[in-house]
Structure 1
């Protein structure tokens, strides 16, 4: 029996080997006993216990704990993977459609991204899909518009080039014909000037499609309008008699002179050219609570459909009756539209019920301050 010296009322646990050679522990305890009617007597208590069974139990508990931990990790992994895969399924489906976009685009023209049946949908993925479809629709319209513009530019440039080639070949074949020689140089010059106007307008359209260096300064609208009328006088001899001006503005307008003059010149040129001959062109300039408003109204011999009115701002778009015209090429309103967008002006084009054609340009007053 172990008998270590211990202070009274203290204990100690030590590892030992039992007589049957099992591993165990000994609990040693020293205390002071107080029997009745006797003196207090120190007592030393020793208790032996085998730890083999306890070690087996704790081993089993350790194995169960480790096993349950590993099992819970496996279950969590499986559940998390299933949830993530289910949540990413719409995004994976969308990604697969993007990968096959070029191939499917060749198969069908109006391709768009959609979800397959029985595929869960989420707000976030729906937003991405909608924005992609919106981008494709805008891009498709831009590509179609660029194709149309390219075709129209080729048509507009090809016509005067063909005329020059034809005149030159005829003059070479009949060099002694006085009728051809008399007008040959003037005809070539006229055709070349027409090509120059087309190229200059195309360059101006390209320039206004991106950005312009805007320099705002006070502009007197009456002075600017007089300058525009003077510039157009060589094309329309009766321009001063046809213009009817109603101006209620008292203060100058703070704007870029080039932009404002280009807008008024193109709108007034179109109004004079496409209106009934010798008819009045009404110009109203006033302001309201938020805008400076320019209104140009003219009588129109052509009744435009709503679709045609909406297409008037497209480059090189002309009404069928005007396609053969040599002075207007369908670029004026496109240039005006681009300049208005750059300056944050509002452009409105409409045909009234009485047949008159009306164009409004609203200049926000916040843009008219220095």
Structure 2
């Protein structure tokens, strides 16, 4: 499976996006500048052609072209000359002296409609690339002929003239080519700069993330002071750091819990094993003692059964830890309670069972185990001659089974948090061969397995466990 890089994806995405935007802007500027230069050149040709048109007059004797190459040397020079030619129909009326300098003596004729103009790309007589503007116009009448319109028409004024003005476009083309080259070089330079800038910016922005990754790699869960911190608060990283620190703390607590659990298991199993070893050694040393032989087997059986009970409880605890049990048993909560407790000493119990509780669908095995463990725990850790209150009631969409008993030893807040830890006992002196500190842990685990809540509260030197069961 290919590993994707967020950094590379950001670099490529941002580089392409910014480069594409800059390329579009530069392309638009290039097109606009090219068009502007082209238009300016065409306007300059139009202006020069209009100026030539103003030099043509018509009077009663015919056409008069008031042109002097002395003041317009571009039409007579051998260095970058310009050209013009005037036709009346297809008959040449006038042309520039610059046309005589080259083998091609005339500009090509173009027939146009009256009052129109056209610019064409065309090689000049000297071989350079150029443009020719053609204009079809009627020459201006001399002032002394303005009133004699009939005479003017008789002279053919209305037929119109065609003017062609030609100039080199090589300089314009060179400028346009130079602009295009500058555009290409600028585009490549900008793309390279954007690539480097984006890469540097992303590396700088991701530096705290890289440091965070390095800090995580150096963490050791066994270190009590292990904690992630960032030198400069960063809005996007702060929630991640907080979540990681919470995760580290939870896992450290789990590690310490498992470490303590392993130690407790070893301690609980060590005692009966030591008892078995002692019995075996005594039996071997005094094989002739009949009384010892009689009591040996029952004691071995009792110790073995205790070991079996510890192992069964541990297996039960780990089997349903973070698991789910199927809820397929429809039952009456009050009937389940009375059936479980009918063989126990009910003289120490006081019942407050609500009448007409709705039936629930749950897991009967888990329900019976939870009730049995909670009641046995209450009996074990209640003062002598005290009463354990067993109650049921209905709240909203849930049924509640509660067990309350007075405390033999007061519990503080730290004790409350450890009540459901395996093998934890407030007063180890009150431990018995039948209680190993696993009952509440098993009850908590099975409660989670049937989607029920097991809550605990201490008030007025009394402790109450509540099992909240959803009706549906």
State which of 39, 51, 54 in structure 1 corresponds to 2:169.
51
Residue of structure 2 equivalent to 1:236: none
Distance 1:14 1:263, change over 3 A: closer
Secondary structure class of the residue paired with 1:349: strand
1:55-204 to 2 correspondences below 5 Å? 55-101=173-219, 108-116=223-231, 119=232, 121-123=234-236, 125-204=237-316
Give the TM-score of the pair, scaled to structure 2.
Answer: 0.68
Matched, 1:240 2:318: no
Distance 1:54 1:48, change over 3 A: same
Distance 1:8 1:272, change over 3 A: closer
Q: Deviations over 1:3-41 (max 9, x none)?
A: 33524446452422444x544333344556585523223
Matched, 1:259 2:331: no
Query: C-alpha separation between the residues in 2 aligned to 1:3 and 1:242?
Result: 128
Q: Deviations over 1:90-111 (max 9, x none)?
A: 2122122233335xx67x4331
Secondary structure class of the residue paired with 2:400: strand
Residue of structure 2 equivalent to 1:332: 439
Secondary structure class of the residue paired with 1:96: helix
Distance 1:285 1:45, change over 3 A: same
Query: C-alpha separation between the residues in 1 aligned to 2:364 and 2:233?
Result: 57
**Contact 1:34–1:41 (Cα < 8 Å) also in 2:** no
Distance 1:332 1:49, change over 3 A: same
Query: C-alpha separation between the residues in 1 aligned to 2:403 and 2:359?
Result: 18
Q: Deviations over 1:144-203 (max 9, x none)?
A: 111111111111112111211211121011110122112000000110111111111111
Query: C-alpha separation between the residues in 1 aligned to 2:466 and 2:322?
Result: 23
Distance 1:280 1:24, change over 3 A: closer
**Contact 1:90–1:120 (Cα < 8 Å) also in 2:** no
Query: C-alpha separation between the residues in 2 aligned to 1:195 and 1:81?
Result: 65
Q: Of the two, which has the highest radius of gyration?
A: 2
Query: C-alpha separation between the residues in 2 aligned to 1:120 and 1:276?
Result: 55
Q: Deviations over 1:18-70 (max 9, x none)?
A: 44x54433334455658552322342322121223223332333344334434
5+ residue gaps, structure 2: 1-105, 142-148
Aligned-pair Cα RMSD in Å:
2.5
Secondary structure class of the residue paired with 2:164: strand
State which of 310, 313, 317 in structure 2 corresponds to 1:205.
317
Query: C-alpha separation between the residues in 1 aligned to 2:261 and 2:233?
Result: 42
Q: How many residues align?
A: 352
Residue of structure 1 equivalent to 2:108: 3
**Contact 1:11–1:30 (Cα < 8 Å) also in 2:** no
Distance 1:52 1:260, change over 3 A: same
Query: C-alpha separation between the residues in 1 aligned to 2:389 and 2:219?
Result: 53
| Offset of residue 314 of structure 1 | 0.4
